[in-house]
Chains A and B, each alone.
Chain A
Amino acid sequence: MNVFIREMRDHLKGLIIWSVVILVFMLMVFVEFEAYYENPEMAEILDVVPRGMLEAFGMYGANLTTINGYMSIVALYLYIMLGIFAVLLGNSIIGKEERDKTGEFLMSMPIKRYQVLRSKVGAAVLNCLLLTLIAGIGIAIAVYQYSPDRENFEYISRILVAAFIIQMIFLSLGLFIAASSKAFKKSSALSVALVIITYIISVIQTLSDSVDFLKYFTPFKYYQASEILQNNGFQGIYIGLSVIIVLVANFGVFYVYPRRDLKL
Chain B
Amino acid sequence: MNIIEANNLTKYYGKSKGIENVNFTVKEGEIFGFIGPNGAGKSTTIRTLLGLIFPTSGSATIFGKDCIEKGHEVRRDIGYLPSEMFFYYKMKVWDLLKYSASFFEGDYSHRIEMLAETMELDLTRKIEDLSYGNKKKVGIVQGLLHSPKLIMLDEPTGGLDPLMQKKFFQLIREENQKGATIFFSSHILSEVQHLCHRVAIIKEGSIIQVEDISTLQKNNYKKIMLKGENLSKKSFNFEGITNLTMEDHTLRFFFKGDINQVKEKIQPYKVEDLLIEDPTLEEIFMHYYE
Chain A interfacial positions (CB closer than 8 Å to B): 2, 6, 10, 100-105, 107-112, 115, 259-262, 264
Nearest A residue to B88 via CB reads A102
| Distance, CA A111 to CA B75, complexed state (A) | 8
Task: Give the chain B neighbours of A115 by CB distance below 8 A.
Answer: 72
Among B84, B86, B89, B100, the residue within 8 A (CB) of A109 is: B100
Sample of 4 more A-B contacts, CB < 8 Å, known A101-B84, A107-B52: A104-B86, A110-B73, A112-B71, A261-B13
Query: Which 7 A-B pairs give the minimum distances between C-beta atoms?
Result: A101-B86, A261-B53, A110-B76, A2-B102, A109-B103, A110-B75, A108-B80
Chain B interfacial positions (CB closer than 8 Å to A): 13, 47, 50-54, 71-76, 78, 80, 82, 84, 86-90, 99-100, 102-104, 142
| Distance, CA A110 to CA B67, complexed state (A) | 12
Nearest A residue to B98 via CB reads A2
| Contact in complex: A110, B103 (CB < 8 Å) | yes
Task: Give the chain B neighbours of A261 by CB distance below 8 A.
Answer: 13, 52-54
Task: Give the chain B neighbours of A264 by CB distance below 8 A.
Answer: 47, 52
Report the minimum CB–CB distance from A181 to chain B (whole Å): 15
24 cross-chain CB contacts under 8 A: A2-B99, A6-B99, A10-B88, A10-B90, A100-B88, A100-B89, A101-B84, A101-B86, A102-B87, A105-B82, A105-B86, A105-B100, A107-B50, A108-B50, A108-B75, A108-B82, A109-B103, A110-B74, A111-B72, A260-B54, A261-B52, A261-B53, A262-B52, A264-B47
Task: Give the chain B neighbours of A2 by CB distance below 8 A.
Answer: 99, 102-103
Count chain A CB atoms within 10 A of each CB in B71, B76, B89 and give the residue with the most.
Answer: B71
| Contact in complex: A104, B52 (CB < 8 Å) | yes
Report the minimum CB–CB distance from A204 to chain B (whole Å): 38
Nearest B residue to A104 via CB reads B82
| Contact in complex: A262, B88 (CB < 8 Å) | no
Report the minimum CB–CB distance from B114 to chain A (whole Å): 21
| Contact in complex: A108, B88 (CB < 8 Å) | no
Nearest B residue to A96 via CB reads B88
| Distance, CA A110 to CA B79, complexed state (A) | 10
Report the minimum CB–CB distance from A254 to chain B (whole Å): 16
Nearest B residue to A2 via CB reads B102
Task: Give the chain A neighbours of B53 by CB distance below 8 A.
Answer: 261-262
Report the minimum CB–CB distance from A145 to chain B (whole Å): 40
| Contact in complex: A103, B87 (CB < 8 Å) | no
